[in-house]
């Protein structure tokens, strides 16, 4: 399973902040899970930006809920 390195995490957090979110990274057995928390004025463009970020790292996003605030990347 693909995972982000410790060096890629700050880049992801900075990206999320640009769209009004704080991103939390959760370690799980053999992988990572992520959650978005609104932090001010938010933009729906975050979803496209996240897809592009993970695509650049050869990963795809899988959302767990309708609000798209919880996801994993593979």
* Pairs from 22-28 (Cβ < 8 Å, separation ≥ 24): 28/72
The beta strand positions in 1-74, using DSSP E, are 21-28, 31-38, 61-63, 70-73
CB count in 10 Å sphere of residue 16: 21
pLDDT tens track for 26-53: 987 777 999 999 998 999 999 999 999 9
Contact 8, 16 (CB under 8 A): no
At 27 the pLDDT is: 81
CA–CA gap between residue 18 and residue 27 (Å, rounded): 24
Is the pTM above the cut of 0.75? yes
pLDDT tens track for 6-31: 899 999 999 999 999 999 999 877 77
């Amino acid at each position: 399973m693909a995972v982000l390195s410790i060096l890629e995490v700050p880049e992801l957090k900075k990206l999320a902040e640009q769209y009004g979110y704080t991103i939390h990274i959760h370690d799980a057995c053999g992988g990572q899970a992520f959650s978005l928390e609104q932090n001010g004025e938010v933009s729906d463009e975050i979803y496209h930006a996240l897809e592009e970020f993970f695509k650049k790292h050869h990963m795809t996003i899988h959302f767990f809920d309708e609000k798209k605030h919880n996801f994993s990347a593979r």
